[in-house]
Amino acid sequence: MIIVMKYGADEAQVEAVVHKIHQSGLKEHLSRGAELTIIGVIGDEERLDPSRFAILPGVDRVNRVAKQYKIVSRSTHPQGTTIKVRGIEFGGTQIQIIAGPYAAESAQQMNLTADALAAASCRLMRCGAFHAQPYTAPRKEREALAWLKDAAARHQLPVMAELPDVRMLDAFMEYDIEMIQIGERNMQNLDLLREVGRINKPIILKRGVSATIVEWLMAAESIAAGGNHNIIFCEHGIRTFENAYRNVLDVSAIAVLKQETHLPVMVDPSDACGKSWMVPALTKAAIAAGADGVLLDVHPNPAEALYAADQALAPLDLAQLIAGLQPLAAALGRSL
Amino acid sequence: MIIVMKYGADEAQVEAVVHKIHQSGLKEHLSRGAELTIIGVIGDEERLDPSRFAILPGVDRVNRVAKQYKIVSRSTHPQGTTIKVRGIEFGGTQIQIIAGPYAAESAQQMNLTADALAAASCRLMRCGAFHAQPYTAPRKEREALAWLKDAAARHQLPVMAELPDVRMLDAFMEYDIEMIQIGERNMQNLDLLREVGRINKPIILKRGVSATIVEWLMAAESIAAGGNHNIIFCEHGIRTFENAYRNVLDVSAIAVLKQETHLPVMVDPSDACGKSWMVPALTKAAIAAGADGVLLDVHPNPAEALYAADQALAPLDLAQLIAGLQPLAAALGRSL
Amino acid sequence: MIIVMKYGADEAQVEAVVHKIHQSGLKEHLSRGAELTIIGVIGDEERLDPSRFAILPGVDRVNRVAKQYKIVSRSTHPQGTTIKVRGIEFGGTQIQIIAGPYAAESAQQMNLTADALAAASCRLMRCGAFHAQPYTAPRKEREALAWLKDAAARHQLPVMAELPDVRMLDAFMEYDIEMIQIGERNMQNLDLLREVGRINKPIILKRGVSATIVEWLMAAESIAAGGNHNIIFCEHGIRTFENAYRNVLDVSAIAVLKQETHLPVMVDPSDACGKSWMVPALTKAAIAAGADGVLLDVHPNPAEALYAADQALAPLDLAQLIAGLQPLAAALGRSL
Amino acid sequence: MIIVMKYGADEAQVEAVVHKIHQSGLKEHLSRGAELTIIGVIGDEERLDPSRFAILPGVDRVNRVAKQYKIVSRSTHPQGTTIKVRGIEFGGTQIQIIAGPYAAESAQQMNLTADALAAASCRLMRCGAFHAQPYTAPRKEREALAWLKDAAARHQLPVMAELPDVRMLDAFMEYDIEMIQIGERNMQNLDLLREVGRINKPIILKRGVSATIVEWLMAAESIAAGGNHNIIFCEHGIRTFENAYRNVLDVSAIAVLKQETHLPVMVDPSDACGKSWMVPALTKAAIAAGADGVLLDVHPNPAEALYAADQALAPLDLAQLIAGLQPLAAALGRSL
């Protein structure tokens, strides 16, 4: 922690800060410049809220220096981590695609989707969101989980679904949902993070639309603190002033995460932009930037999709996109 | 709903759109300009996802025209609504202040806070957040609720607390927490919104840091749809590129809400800026802009606060601020 | 300047940093924590680009500590500065209103505006923008300046106008425009800042819609460095994800500027929100937050305004707003 | 233009809107829904400011429907346009790289840079910014132009430089700078846009850090309106809440521009992120998303660069990056 004193702070103010540092069982390191006095705090300052010093008279600002995430940090774990789901590896050289519809509509829709994924050589299936219709939709989560599992089972695909609420966790365990997504709105839902920290299924942690990368890493740390280190980050776009698309896909975050954490990084181009015609360009950009995989919104017949129809790829679009990704992956030294 | 066709869209594309409108049981209204064809959709288009038309060939974009919030809208309820909590009125001419600490530390801290509030003529007490320490803190919510109620009872103050998780709702009912806050991270937590929509306690709905006003109104609609119309909006600041303070307090939102909804509007200047020295200026700005009240972070001894020490007002600060607000309220035709 | 080494940086990397500090004629101050090494740089580090150290192996990040603005800083000039324009004081207890149309349309429009301002006791007149119509409008700046001066002269009002381009400066001097506005798009136009730094007329420096407060202070420093210290800041709203209004008026910036600089601070609520019905609420919020004055968009007949018709106050609106501001100013210990 | 009346607007209000439409020489198209009345405006509504209708009583909002850019729009020019600079084609299948230092330091620095570019098979040279040091640097633009041209001439490279101010245009013509950059701060500097609209050199138009894509297209239209259609867009990153890098590189904008305009699109990853270690990932992402080329910050010895040292690629980095781009370009059906 570094405490910068205000221009013109007097000796008594500096001493009061030093006194509080000692009271907290830590040591200070004083540096007096021509204009400014800076006080470094040494010791286990992690547990101390910087605001306790910021409030003292004469203090201009207080900055943490040490990072607040440890388990997920690459500093302490320089090797990249791979996570396996029924033999399918995330974070290795192979790029993974998890695909499926935005909303579960029917068993038939799920079956047709699973067929399309298998035909396109996708190895995992997902069902996007259980809450497609905010305040009118009936709660059919269990039925949707059954459809998803049954459809995927026809092609031996492991499945991924979003856990919207802690009370659904039992159902997810019962139906053996292989990967659990924490949605962007729940990225900082600590109760939910703690619960999935106690199980040992891989967690796909979506970035909140206004979450900084540091907040995202700390959310992952909250999961990891419970013992579950099988975490995969998933960039989902951030909210900005631009409204030509839903969110701005932040490819720079991929590069930063690859440096800051040893865990795999995926991207959801469909949810990020909200327009199927943009998905191929964004998928390629994400993979070129270093992503370990993508989530894709696929519907057997987008024109008849009940929700978010214009962001779903049709089976043919998916096949074409994957065909285009093959040489791209090879050019980057990866496989698909 | 308005469907704008692309420049150069042909007749067959227009007809396909019209056909789909008919299929959906609605009627169209065609307007052919020199360059563009625009198709209005008439009927109960509310239940139809615009993406179903956006996906059709030749369609440039689809815009909803009707607003998606009804119960909370001033259009259908032109008179302002007042909400009473043990005789204290929100949304009337009197401005309300709900004050208390960011985090519950001890029974003594709560008692000293309640004494300070009573001395400053505050009529309601709150306890800010149960999750002050993301991934280390033990779960002491029940104890904190007991401290809060006991401290407030010494001065007959109704209390307000944030409900972080549906599983805590029983405890809130048991301890008779008079007002329930939905925190900014839960503004779009539909499960939580539905639950508090079923009870009849006043809800303070904080704005998410990246939520638009329309999304905020729709979140309120989600609560109201369950039957609970006792909703008070609370602006909390939005996240932008500026990092001189935590969030940017959006006073323009107060003016817009006052026009768009009949429900009361409060502001939390302490959480918005995160710096106690800025709170008086922001409180005055909020009230001048038309807010019906404020939430204030107050601690009996900020220098010893465990969390967020630099955003808490000391008892003396609170008394001074309130003294300054008296003439301001009068100048605006209100009371304090 | 503070240099934070990476976790695990080795001794040779620390030495290379120290070596470069010495090469630059400065001294280092080493602080070795349990996990991190931090190096303070002491001396006239202002002239050194932090990137020169950021690039060295083992360096995690480099932060400037000293502020880069001096002349405009309150640190070195604790007393507030007042700026006088023909006896009218900015930055004192009196609140100033500069009003006038968004665009100059005709001599008659200007005369009617000046009459309305005089009737409402406004003491200064402005003409908003010369570039109302991006790529079609003819260049009529000189004619507009003449209309503005003539209209204002009928009531002895000093005038303010935006200088869009250095090549117009001669015309501004010739017509004796008493105050010069640097528009939000030019806040970082260094050529323009330098030019107005050489004259001695008061400058109203608008904040760019995505400029941080620090960048804004540095832009003012660029003007002041040329010798002209007569600078008035003008908050104009910032661009965010919210699109219910043009920009978000950032009242927190008023509080921060009042602490960071000794110079006066104004606000332009009309341009910020772009809707005349919101202007009274925002004007009151700005003044309650501590602004020294406001810029208001006034048109003799908004329904016939050629541009931005919906943000202009009519003469009657202006009179009513000013009547409402009188008690507010008094409640804040100021006059109007 | 579409005018949406307020819920409950009465007949007289609708008639007043229709009257004003007629007065403006246009025709209306009325659509009365169950709840809302919508009025389409037909004719040459381009020249009419929507605010003139927004101000009328009973009007909820007014939206333009037709796009305000024509010359640069792909609607009216479906074929992609290629722009040639001494035989080098922008917007074709070949990807172009324009590289060079952020700031001109010396003739030797420029010569070494040109040598590095030639060795790496770059075909164009640039010199980034003449204003590296905001308020202290002397004006040495002419000298810098001479260094740039001389260095580039040794390897027959055409050059590109940023025109910071209209008064420098003569020097740019005199030194025969082959391509002219309009910097991100000048994207909406109409005087500058008009001036470069009158010459026939290719213009690289950078996106302002808070400019929407529509504003960017309209800035290009302002240039094109003067007769110069040789415009190349250059994405430069946008300002958001994330501060792990300078700006967020918006790859989605590439996809949208490729659909909205027939003109070429480039990307500046170096300026966007401000960190050389991130440049390779972002360059790949940009090209995978469909960019026609990139601008790269290259310095013969970044450790000794005077400004922005940590964003410059060294000659070896450049060679490695280009080697990695070759297979990527091929995988995308392009060449380098």
Pairing label, strands B265-267, B231-235: parallel
Dihedral over Cα of A268, A270, A271, A275: its sign? positive
Mean pLDDT over D271-296 rounds to 98
| pLDDT given for residue A150 in this prediction | 96
* Residue A35 confidence (pLDDT) above 80: no
Of C196 and A136, which is predicted with more confidence?
C196
Q: In order of start, what are the domains of chain B with their CATH numbers?
A: 2-63 (3.30.70.1140), 83-331 (3.20.20.70)
Q: Quick one: how far is CA B178 from the chain centroid?
A: 17
Average pLDDT over residues D14-43: 88
CA–CA separation, A247 and A238 (whole Å): 5
- The letter for the amino acid at B127 is C
Q: Containing H/E element for B193?
A: helix B190-197
A305 against B255, higher pLDDT: B255
Q: For chain B, give the number of residues.
A: 336
Q: What's the token pair of residue D310? A: 């940590």
| pLDDT, position D325 | 98
Residue B102 corresponds to which tokens in the numbers above?
């960011």
Neighbours of B154 (CB within 10 A): 12
Q: Which of C7, C34, C65 sits opposite A38 (nearest CB)?
A: C65
| Residue from D310, D311, D313, D317 whose CB has the most chain C CBs within 10 Å, to mutate | D310
Burial D217-245 (b: 16+ CB within 10 A, else e): bbbbbbbbbeebbbbbbbbbbbbbbbebb
Q: B307: Cβ–Cβ under 8 A, 6 or more apart, which residues?
A: A49, A51, B102, B103, B132, B133
Q: Which two tokens stand for residue B3?
A: 């469907």
Contacts of B272 in chain C (CB under 8 A): 252
For A65-78, what is each residue's pLDDT tens digit? 888 899 999 998 99
Q: Which residues of D touch B243 (CB under 8 A)?
A: 243
Residue D278 reports pLDDT greater than 90: yes
> Residues D5, D10, D13, D17: is their CA dihedral positive or negative?
positive
- Specify the 3-state DSSP secondary structure of C46: helix
Phi and psi of C42, rounded to 5°?
Answer: -120, 140
Smallest Cβ–Cβ distance between B65 and the set D4, D67, D76 belongs to: D4
**pLDDT of residue D133 exceeding 70:** no
pTM for the full predicted model = 0.95
Main-chain phi, psi angles of C181, to 5 degrees: -95, 135
Cα–Cα distance for residue pair A174/C60, rounded to 1 Å: 46
Q: Which residue type sits at C330?
A: A
Give D132's pLDDT tier (boundaries 50, 70, 90). Answer: very low
A214 to chain C, any CB pair closer than 8 A? The answer is no
In the predicted structure, residue A132 carries a pLDDT above the cut 80: no
Q: For D194, which DSSP code?
A: H
Q: What is the mean pLDDT of residues D107-121?
A: 97
Question: CA angle C219-C224-C226, nearest 5°?
Answer: 110
Q: What is the DSSP string of B14-67?
A: HHHHHHHHHHTT-EEEEEE-SS-EEEEEESSGGGS-THHHHTSTTEEEEE--S-
Pairwise CB contact (< 8 Å): C250 & B253: no
Residues 50-79 of B with CB under 8 A from A: 51-52, 54-56
Across the interface, do C33 and A44 touch by the CB < 8 Å criterion? no
Residue from D66, D6, D93, D35 nearest D287 by CA: D93
Predicted confidence at residue D36, as pLDDT, reads 84
Q: Mean pLDDT over all residues of chain D?
A: 92
What is the per-residue pLDDT for D176? 95
Give, as one character, the DSSP assignment of residue D163.
Answer: -
Q: Residue A156 pLDDT > 70, yes or no?
A: yes
C33 CB neighbour count, 10 Å cutoff = 18
D129: pLDDT strictly greater than 60? no
CA-CA-CA-CA torsion sign (A207, A211, A213, A218): negative
Segment (H or E) for B96: strand B96-100
pLDDT at B138: 42
**Residue-level pLDDT at D34:** 72
Mean pLDDT estimate for chain B: 92
Give me the percent of chain C exceeding a pLDDT of 90: 78
How do residues D164-182 score in pLDDT, each as one tens digit? 888 889 999 999 999 999 9
**pLDDT (0 to 100) of residue B42:** 81
Q: Looking at the predicted structure, is the pLDDT value of residue D84 above 90?
A: yes
Residue tagged 């972070």 (tokens): B297
Query: Residue D148: CA atoms inside 13 Å, Cβ hemisphere, count?
Result: 31
Encode pLDDT of A78-123 as tens digits.
999 999 999 999 999 999 999 999 988 999 999 999 999 999 999 9
Mean pLDDT, range C296-301, rounded to an integer: 97
Q: Using CA atoms, how far apart are residues D314 and A20, in angstroms rounded to an integer? A: 47
The whole-number average pLDDT for the span C242-258 is 97
Q: Which residue has the tokens 């149309």?
A: C101
Asked if the Cβ–Cβ distance from A240 to D238 is below 8 Å, we say yes
Please answer whether residues D109 and D309 qualify as being in contact, where contact means their C-beta atoms are separated by less than 8 angstroms. Answer: no
Chain C: residue nearest B285 by CA? C285
Q: Which residues of chain B are within 8 Å of residue C327 when distances are taken between CB atoms?
A: 330-331
Structure confidence by residue, pLDDT tens digits, B200-219: 999 999 999 999 999 999 99
Q: Where residue A237 falls among pLDDT bands split at 50, 70, 90?
A: very high
ipTM of the complex: 0.94
Tell me what the mean pLDDT of segment D285-312 comes to. Answer: 95
**Of D174, D129, D189, residue with least CA distance to C192:** D189
Residue D243 has its nearest CB partner, among B6, B43, B243, at B243
Higher pLDDT, B138 or C213: C213
Residue C233, SS3 per DSSP: strand
Query: Across residues C284-310, what is the average pLDDT?
Result: 95
Q: In this predicted model, what pLDDT tens digit does every residue of C122-171 receive, in sequence order?
A: 999 998 756 544 433 445 778 889 999 999 999 999 999 999 888 889 99
List all residues of chain B from 183 to 212 with a beta carbon under 8 Å from chain A.
185-186, 188-191, 193-194, 209-210
Which residues does chain C have within 8 Å of residue A62's beta carbon, measured at their own beta carbons?
Answer: none
The minimum CA-CA distance between B97 and chain D, rounded to whole Å, is: 31
Q: Which residues of A touch B306 (CB under 8 A)?
A: 49, 52
Answer whether D210 sits within 8 Å of A289, measured CB to CB. no
Determine the pLDDT at residue C124. 98
Q: Give B289-336 pLDDT, tens digit per residue.
A: 999 999 999 999 998 898 889 999 999 999 999 999 999 999 999 999
Tell whether the torsion through CA atoms of A169, A175, A180 and A186 is positive or negative. Answer: negative
The DSSP result for D22-44, as a single string, is HHTT-EEEEEE-SS-EEEEEESS
